[in-house]
Chains A and B, each alone.
Chain A
Amino acid sequence: MNSILKFFASIKDRYIIWRIHGSSVVACLVNLLFLCLAYLFIPLETSSFNKIRNNFYYYYPQIKKDNPRVFDPLRIIIQTLFLLFIRQSPLDKTNISVFSAAVIRLFNKYAKQPFVRLTEKYTDAIYDKTVKKNVFISRRRRNLTRVLLFASFVTSALAVTQPFDLTYQFIFVILMWLIALLLRAVNNRVSLMLMIFISIIIATRYIYWRLSQTIILITPFTAFCSITLFVAEIYTYIILLLSYFQVSWVLDRKPYPLPKDLKLWPTVDIFIPTYNESLDVVSPCLLACLDLDWPKDKLKIYLLDDGSRSEFEEYCQKIGINYIKRNEHKHAKAGNINNALKITQGELIAIFDCDHIPTRAFLQMTCGWMVHDKNIALVQTPHHFYSEDPFEKNLKLNGRLPAENALFHDFIQKGNDTWNATMFCGSCAVIRRAPLEEIGGIAVETVTEDAHTSLRLNRRGYSSAFISMPLAAGLATESLADHINQRIRWARGMIQIFRIDNPLLGKGLTIPQRLCFTNAMIHFLHGLPRIIFLLAPLPYLFCNVYVIFASGLAILSFVLPYMFYSTLTNQMIQYNKRFYFWGVVYETILSWYITLPTLIALLSPEHGKFNVTAKGASNTSTYFDWTVSKPYILLIVLNMSGFLFGLYNIIFNPYAEISTILINLGWVSYNLLILGAASAVALEAKQVRASPRVNCNMEAMLEAGNGYSIMVNIIDFSKEGLGIALPTLHEKNQLLSEVFHEGSKIHITIRKEDLNYRFAGIVRFSGRNKLGIKVILKDLKSNIEYIRCTFATADRWSHSYDNITPDSLIHGIHTLIVLGLRGYLKMLDNTPHIIREFLWITLKIMIFFFSMLPQPLDVTRPFRKKKSEHNEKQNLTVNGS
């Protein structure tokens, strides 16, 4: 009797809690009923279900704590099935998906492990035979190789052109899919190469099929549409091939040790070109350069001021840096450097953009190779940004995603290095003076002088190297508009080089170099093809024009494996440098804007302007950048109306070919999601601080004015201040925050490389267990020391990507949907009232159905924590505002 009463009491409690949190009566009743039923049929109270009960909101992220909705039971059931049957991210240690776990276990035992053993054995054997002994292949073996290569060519040609019945095509595709799964699971170098090759075969098969079967030219309009689409597809195909080639085996170059004898170290000039940036932005760079770890007599630092500003001159004199200004301002940055080149005479030249802050070890890490190999004319290091780029900032990604530029700077450049085609990126690089003077200084013909310079160096037979360690960090572009401007310049410049100094033609380059440079250049032509893909399903939906002339099933049987294989292979290659679908989103954002400049540059390369990207500004308020997103809105409207028209046809047109329409609708929905995600970036988040904060984890000693001191952790820093986590001292929190009250003067001591650096500061913000401190830097020495302790620490940036976990496909799809919908929500929030009311319902419905979908577990979220910030964010994405 007692227990029943207890039970009723608990039910009542729960009801009251839910009602207080704002759930409706119906929702509460339904959920309570569901709860009772669940307890009735499943022994949830037993200890074996402890794990799930304790981490309910981890397993069911779509359920809001204490605020159930009417359909939550349905959501719970769907999510349960999803969890049981679909494997979560490999990092998920909760082992919830019992069914897939069993399948995976069997798969590992009978397929993966034998395969791994086999491939490893074989790779070892090859390694032993060819590399360790360094034996050249005998003539007979070479002939055998040729024969095998020929056979491989013939069989792959067969695999590309073999006609199949639709059924057999599907069987073939499914077989290849199984192989892909196997290869991906194995994930070593051999399996990656197999993946690449099979992906090429499948892609070529698709292109061959498209060319031989699906192009019809009956009416001029159809012919136009289908040829346009096909050309766009050919372009992506070529880019795919080139990128596979480029990164088939990336070179992981480590810094080469410098000779012990300091006399052998070369003299280095450091060039810091500036034009209109504020002193605020430039000074950390100068200070960091002063602190570079290099013999003082062999190091000269030059500020190349194109703006001829007197305060810069004074500042330079004050801190002891050479100041160079020009009389005439021709050729922008390239001209500026070339001007300095005439005046200076160091053996090596290190170039930094004025917002880049080099770490102390920069020269030691890079110059080793220069000393070791006299033919190396360029050593480039990746660009790293310590501020958030517009994507991270506007989408509030909080560093969970690799940065937009990570793919090129941390990965493709490594691939380029394999083929001796490393590209100069304008900053964070060391160049040998003699070769640079030999080619006439930095190239001035195009707006991307850096890439052109490295192309010229390569043409002269000099080699280049890339060291994949972030040794300097700079500021990313502030807003989406800035980002777009910057990319327009790059795109225009690259296409200019492609026209003026085509890497495919001319002397001095090896074939791989030509291919790598070509890929880098024609990559910027992606604008038009992307727009074509965004518009391609519309002719069919509106005018019944067959752009791809084949039945829906046939298209599926060819397109899906092509997409699947190339996505999977790219993901295997790029690993944690770029996640699923993000490349498409980035391209889509740029596509509209770079189309025209690249086309103009392609037709007439001399027309090009230099626009400088603004840095160091701050947004005072959140706003939606309507001007930037206008073209996407046009595309969205077109796609949306295509979608509605297709739906209308399915329902009302008795002759509609439903399967084909459905496939086109799928395509349109994908486009809409991509466009939604793209416009989600256009909502500019406000940025309060001009100097962005960098997360870190340093120990420090904090002293209060009264001599009271405590060991604390520095959790972030910026140019002006530090963020400090206070230790949780029981019952003394009150005391601590009283001691470090806002406005109190403190001292902080940071220990670096066995030295203690002590800085004075003022508490600007004092929270429960967090302090914000403004550092007071009086003299040059303390300024340099502060930079040394923060930005210029040798290994400051080297672990930037360690905490990024590789993506799973399910998670990728989920993210895409979330982002796409979020984009529409944001847009709605910023639209005039009438439109908002009008579209609200549709979006609500979409969001409702989306909320029914299962959600993959977020493994980055701490397990067993009762409540976390992230949970709220997840809900926010679903619910909007």
Chain B
Amino acid sequence: MRKLSSALTCLFCLMSVLSFSVKAEDTVKAEATLVASEVDSTPPLSRAENITTTYIHYPFEKLEWVDPSGSLALSGITPRRSVRFTVKRNEIVTKSYMELFYTPSPSLIPVRSQLNVYLNGIMQKTIPIHKEDLGKKVSTKVALDTHIIRDENLIEFEFIGHYTDYCENPVDTTLWLNISAQTTLHLGKQLLHLANDLSSFPLPFINTSTGDKTVLSLIFPQEPDLETIKAASIFSSYGGTISSWRGVDYPVFLDKLPSEGNAVVFMTNSNRPVFLKDYPKTDTPVIEMADIPGTQSDKMLIINAPDSQGLVVACRALAQGNVLFNGPLSRILEFKEIEKRKPYDAPNWADTSKKITFGSLTNFEGQLSSQGFAPAPIELELNLPPDLYFVNGSRIAMDLIYKYTKPSKLGLSQMRLIINEKLIRSYPLNPDEETDEISEYIPLLGNLNIFNRTNVDTSFLRAQNQFRFDFKYSLMFTSKMNECNTIVPIPNRVEIDPNSSFDFTNIYHFTKMPNLNTFWQSGYPFSIYADLQRTAIVLSELNETSELNTLFNTLARIGSQLGYPALNLEIIDARHEEAIKAAGDKDFLVIGRIPDVLSNNENAAIVLNKTEQSIKTSFNDSMPNRFTEEKAVAVQNIKQSNYTGIGAIVSYRSPLSDERTLVAIISDSSEGMSNISQNIIVNHSSIIAAGSVTVIDHNRAKNYDVGDSYYIGDLPWYQRMYYMLLESPFLLMFLCLFSALIFCVLMYRTLRRIQRARLRLQALRKEQ
């Protein structure tokens, strides 16, 4: 029996391979045409030279679309689930298989129950559930056809489960199969040698296909000047916008090449690294792609200009997207200044000056619809400026139009509105609704404060928000005993109209500072202007690679949060006091040592004292890591500890302007600085900064709130008065009484006078 079944399986496999090989041929043809087109534009030498194969193992929990536990649960009503993995452009997969671990339900009928595996829609293997496998964890090896592996791939599992011969109910809870998190995908990859062609820029320098962070070395000649660093800053910020949530790390090298990975070289005619000193000089800014000597597939991007001004021009042109890339080299012949950005217009932030339609928030086609017996929730991301000021009574109107197929009359079906994992309201799906369109008007009343007076953490809406519309259909398959009807359930479909909208208009920007949390989450207050035109960066050391690394990583972080490169930032050398004072109306981002001009007031001293004190003591205790609020002046001043490698982010009001903020990234050593630079990469750290001081030690952080608080924003004076009284009904009562008393005393006097006058002789008014 078993032999027969395995033979059948083999046969089936064979047939499937045969039938799909036709398709595989098609893809090969397509590749061939692709290669042909490459051949046209590049030298023929650039074809792949396969040298070594590296094996990479992806455990399931690292792939996309799996459950939070890393495993996949299949059941009668969700029989098909899939996972996604991506392959880089410059890699080719030569060998691939999957080590599958799964547990079938013990009540399944053997062999009639099966598990099918598909890769990109093509069946790879069908696995019958054997009797001895029931209820146990089973492992099997599934070979995957490497020919059909593309950049983006989908592995799909289909569960065909049967538990009885008679009257099967697809909702039955005994119908399940669990694919374990242990399941691993094994890919044998070879690197391709890519042609030096900029037309695919930002590939290969910045990764946009997989979920990995980009590591891109920035190489400067000895003693880079401010302009060169500014050029690199613009470039790094641009890299941040492209890689977005994946994160970028920019290790900095002075006058030398990194041991591995791609690199960007900034050089001018007069000042260039040693390994490129013989490179031809140029009279216009040039961006060129070249192989890194001595490596197999690593590339470098050479940004070359007659002087360092030219480097800035080149980088701005690159970031603005007005460089035409074709072939290995691009000259920047003309450069157009574009208009400066207006406040709060970062592309990643929702535009709160007008109604936000749901359509404008979608990232991919079909995001606003869903189908299935239990349709997957529809999710939307909404990024808001972090300084929106909501008080009770601010009403965020959500105009929601949704359609749904009629639910069954039995049981309750509902649509749940969940914001940031909190249930807001649930709306019934009416089985009798003749029209399938409902218009709802939901003011998000109540405790809805992004910025709330006492505590930032209880806020309900945040800077980054996830809206989830979860349509829950009640499922009912009933059949009486001995009277079995086959019910073929129809999948439900739900849709949200893209014209549904939020209304954030008439909401002010107003927030309490210093608040490192807004800096950490949204680059605030620098991000008010998306091109960082109101930002001055103060660098204490131009030659310190760890500081430069931190700077570039920070800018990449802000760029990824805003979706716009820092075209108009200003970089100042900390030694130039005059320049710092001239930039007094800007927000300061200080890397390294804080210059005296910016730290010689009392408030700064308090903040810095506290920082120093906590750097030396805080990590010695075993207190849980939580937000401590302390407004007291730190008097303790311990001189030196033997513990190094600690960095801190501090923030306080700029000593040069009341409305501006200073954020400084400081450390006790270059290890501390490198530590921060690694933690500041987007999505690569569990640290959350908050308060005015965040002390970071490896992957731990402690937050303190010290120093003066101040408020920035465009809140009108009367709103500020409301704000002051927001939580003091007692005070309002006294104000009420006060005005009542004044009014009453005045009225008393006037009325008494009138009364007396009325009872006195009245002179003839006519004669007067």
Contact = CB atoms under 8 A, between A and B. Distances in A.
Contacts of B447: 165
A145 interface: yes
5 contacts: A149-B746, A152-B738, A166-B446, A201-B740, A249-B754
B727 A165 contact: yes
B765 interface: yes
B736 A201 contact: yes
A805 to B, nearest CB: 28
A837 to B, nearest CB: 36
Contact of B755 (A155, A162, A249): A249
Interface string B709-737: 00000000010011001110110110111
Contacts of A463: 762, 765
Contacts of B3: none
A550 B722 CA distance: 21
Nearest to A163: B393
Nearest to A205: B736
B739 A156 contact: yes
Nearest to A145: B746
A612 B718 CA distance: 58
A127 B755 CA distance: 13
B757 to A, nearest CB: 10
Contacts of B439: 218
Contacts of B428: 654-655
Contacts of A169: 729
A251 to B, nearest CB: 6
Contacts of B742: 148-149, 151-152
Interface in A465-491: none
Contacts of A175: 729-730, 733
Nearest to A202: B736
B735 A190 contact: no
A282 B392 CA distance: 67
Given A149-B742, A158-B721, A654-B412, A164 B729 contact: yes
A198 B722 contact: no
Nearest to B735: A155
A418 interface: yes
A345 interface: no
A-B complex: 10 closest residue pairs judged by Cβ atoms:
A172-B729, A163-B393, A152-B739, A193-B744, A152-B742, A197-B740, A155-B739, A249-B751, A155-B735, A156-B739
B722 A123 contact: no
Given A171-B729, A190-B748, A551-B445, A198 B755 contact: no
Contacts of B729: 164, 168-169, 171-172, 175
A463 B753 CA distance: 17
A814 B332 CA distance: 90
Contacts of A168: 726-727, 729
Contact of B756 (A131, A145, A151, A420): A131
A126 B738 CA distance: 17
Contacts of B412: 654
B722 A163 contact: yes
A561 to B, nearest CB: 12
B745 interface: yes
A53 interface: no
A374 interface: yes
B741 A194 contact: yes
Nearest to A554: B445
A168 B452 CA distance: 14
Given A164-B726, A216-B441, 19 more contacts: A126-B745, A126-B748, A152-B742, A155-B735, A162-B722, A162-B725, A165-B726, A168-B729, A194-B741, A197-B739, A201-B740, A249-B751, A251-B758, A372-B761, A375-B762, A418-B758, A461-B766, A463-B765, A550-B445
A375 B748 contact: no
B516 interface: no
Interface in A361-417: 372-376, 417
A807 B391 CA distance: 42
B763 interface: yes
A667 B111 CA distance: 67
Interface string A212-224: 1100101000000
A815 interface: no
Contacts of A127: 752
A172 B732 contact: yes
A169 B737 CA distance: 16
Contacts of B753: 130-131
A111 interface: no
Given A163-B391, A655-B428, A158 B732 contact: yes
Contacts of A164: 392-393, 726, 729
Nearest to A127: B752
**Do most interface residues of chain B lie in helix, strand or loop, or is the interface mixed?**
helix
A502 interface: no
Contacts of B443: 549
A496 to B, nearest CB: 27
A176 interface: yes
A162 B747 CA distance: 25
A439 interface: no
A159 B428 CA distance: 39
Contacts of B736: 155-156, 159, 176, 198, 201
B166 interface: no
B733 A130 contact: no
B433 to A, nearest CB: 13
Given A155-B735, A179-B737, A216-B441, A190 B727 contact: no
Contacts of A198: 736-737, 740
A757 to B, nearest CB: 38
Nearest to B749: A130
A150 B300 CA distance: 72
B761 to A, nearest CB: 6
B764 interface: yes
A161 interface: yes
Nearest to A549: B443
A145 B725 CA distance: 26
A153 interface: yes
B395 interface: yes
Given A152-B738, A190-B748, A218-B439, A163 B726 contact: yes
Nearest to B440: A218
Interface in B432-458: 439, 441, 443, 445-447
Interface in A115-148: 122-123, 126-127, 130-131, 145, 148
A375 B722 contact: no
Contacts of A768: none
Nearest to A249: B751
B364 interface: no
A130 B752 contact: yes
A131 B757 CA distance: 11
B423 interface: no
B488 interface: no
A126 B752 CA distance: 10
Nearest to A417: B758
B722 A161 contact: yes
B45 interface: no
B438 to A, nearest CB: 12
Contact of A376 (B726, B740, B752, B762): B762
A193 to B, nearest CB: 4
Contacts of B726: 162-165, 168
B73 to A, nearest CB: 29
Contact of B748 (A123, A171, A376, A654): A123
A159 B732 contact: yes
Nearest to B736: A159
B733 A179 contact: yes
Contacts of B738: 151-152, 155
A189 B447 CA distance: 41
Given A163-B391, A194-B741, A251-B755, A158 B762 contact: no
Contacts of B751: 248-249, 418
Residue of A156, A418, A550 contacting most chain B CB atoms (<10 Å): A156
A461 B393 contact: no
A168 B439 CA distance: 32
A122 B737 CA distance: 16
